[in-house]
Structure formats: C-alpha cells, structure tokens
Amino acid sequence: MATIPKIHFDNVGKIFGTGPNAFIALEKLNLDIADGEIVTVVGPSGCGKSTAMNIVAGLQEATSGQCLVDGKAVRGPGPDRGVIFQQYALFPWLTVRRNVEFGLKLQGLPVAERRSRAMHYIELVGLADFADALPKMLSGGMKQRCAIARAYAVNPSVLLMDEPFGALDALTRVRLQDQLLDTWSRDRRTVMFITHDVDEAVYLAHRVIVMAARPGRLQEIIEVDLPFPRNEDIRLSPEFTEIRNRVWHAVYTRKSKAA
C-alpha cells in the first residue's frame, strides 16, 4: 500500500484580487511532505512562502487546487497543525503557564491534566523557572520558547513555523534550532519551516524547498544528505558548506520568469 504523504499540495494556486488587480501569489504548487519529515522553505520576499504555509494551516484558502493533510482536504485550522509565527503572539495578560494551557483549555482537558501537560512542555523548552512570569518579563528568545511550548502542548502532528527565529540574536537562534531538532528526534513530527537564513534552512532540514517570485512558485528541491543528529561538527563540515552554497545559488542567482 502506498504511503499517504503527511502534507500534499495538489496544484495549489492563490490569486489575490481580481481583474487587472489580480496578483498570483502562488502558481500551481505541487509538493509532498512525508510524515516525520522536516522541510525548510526559502526564497525571496513575496515568493509565496507564507501563503503556502497559511493554506496548510487553514488560515487562507487556495484559489485553485487543494491541500491535503493526512489525505484529507484542509477546510480550516485544526489542532493537528500547530502554527508558530515570528511574532510570538502570546497573551500579554497571561503567565507563561496559562499561555501554554490556553489551547488545552479549548480542547476541554481537565485542569490537572492541563497543568501537568503544560509544565512538561515548559520544562522541555527550559522555562520552568518562569512559569508564573508574564510575557513582558521575558526576553525575545524566552517568549519564542513559550510560543513553541504552547504549540507543542496541544500535540499537533504537524508544526508550521513561519520565520520563528527571525527576530532573535544569532546565539539564541542556534540554541533554538538544536532544541527543535532534539525534540524532533523524540517525537518525529512533520515540520514545515520558513526561513530567510540559508544556514538555518540546511541545518534543520531533510529537504530545502527553494521558491521563486513573480509569480510565486516552486523552483527547486535540494536534498540535505547530512546525518541526524546534527551538531556543530556537521555545521562546520565541507558537506554542509557544499549544500549551503547550492541553496544560496538557487535563491540568489536565479532570475524571475519575467526577467
């Protein structure tokens, strides 16, 4: 029996506006992402990365084609897909623990279970000492770790991450990359991760999806044939540099269709 891809883009197109104002944000995207795979998405600004992810998340509707998750057409957001944006989107009036518990409350989990599950993920991201702190007391990296704990806690089988580490300093970013991979090695969730950072794209992924703009489209898929677990030695290896250079070339030296 053929395995169903976790995420299946079937000729997905997205047009904003109508008539002379119509703008093709995404043109006929065909892509399969396997269960447990980490895919990173890179490409110039406006190439449709967020649009593609929002369609998987059920936050935007495709104009043509369809997106399937676990073989079922996406009709809207759902607890099977956790979304993490660059802007942490925490509730400022709730503590770290209550922010993480929020989605569990919506799922109707009893208080005790809610609390223990939230604390498990708060500990996982290293925020146990800040469980009762408000977001304003946290650094950017800590807020993002809280947002990650909140997304993980509802136990989605797909993580959709839109430049989640984009606003963070280089060191925090590297730490969160390692934490993401460490967590992934235990639960093997499917991850779709948008980034502008080519090193980050290669370090995290099984495959890097390179997109192009005007119109937004899939340009190239680059396999990252590097072993897991990834570490500093891999980051500094000639093999890493070679793949990184290929991705860089694909993103920055290609012209748009119209050019």
Ligand X SMILES: Nc1ncnc2c1ncn2[C@@H]1O[C@H](COP(=O)(O)OP(=O)(O)OP(=O)(O)O)[C@@H](O)[C@H]1O
Q: Which is nearer to ligand X, 48 or 58 (CB)?
A: 48
- For ligand X, the binding residue among 40, 50, 144, 195 (CB under 6 A) is 50
- Give DSSP secondary structure letters for 187-252: H--EEEEE-S-HHHHHHH-SEEEEEETTTTEEEEEEE----SS--HHHHTSHHHHHHHHHHHHHHH
Residue reference for tokens 């489209």: 217
Helix/strand number for the chain, H first, E second: 8, 10
- For ligand X, the binding residue among 8, 49, 81, 143 (CB under 6 A) is 49
Give yes or no for residue 93 binding ligand X (CB under 6 A): no
CA distance 38 to 233: 20
Give yes or no for residue 45 binding ligand X (CB under 6 A): yes
Say how many residues touch ligand X, by CB under 6 A.
12
- For ligand X, the binding residue among 7, 12, 25, 56 (CB under 6 A) is 25
Residues near 90 by Cβ (< 8 Å), separated by ≥ 6?
A: 99, 135, 143, 146, 147, 150
Q: Which is nearer to ligand X, 43 or 164 (CB)?
A: 43
Name the one range near ligand X by CB under 6 A: 42-50, 113-121, 165-173, 246-254. 42-50
- Give DSSP secondary structure letters for 62-119: -SEEEEEETTEE--S--TTEEEEESS----TTS-HHHHHHHHHHHTT--HHHHHHHHH
Residues 185-224: x where in contact with ligand X by CB under 6 A, - otherwise, as a string: -------------------------------x--------
Name the one range near ligand X by CB under 6 A: 39-47, 97-105, 165-173, 244-252. 39-47
Give yes or no for residue 40 binding ligand X (CB under 6 A): no
Is 76 exposed, middle or buried (CB count within 10 Å of its CB: 0-12, 13-18, 19+)? exposed
Give yes or no for residue 47 binding ligand X (CB under 6 A): yes
Taking the complex as a whole, how short is the minimal distance between the CB of residue 45 and ligand X, in angstroms?
3
- For ligand X, the binding residue among 6, 9, 33, 51 (CB under 6 A) is 51
Residues that bind ligand X (CB under 6 A): 16, 23, 25, 43, 45-51, 216
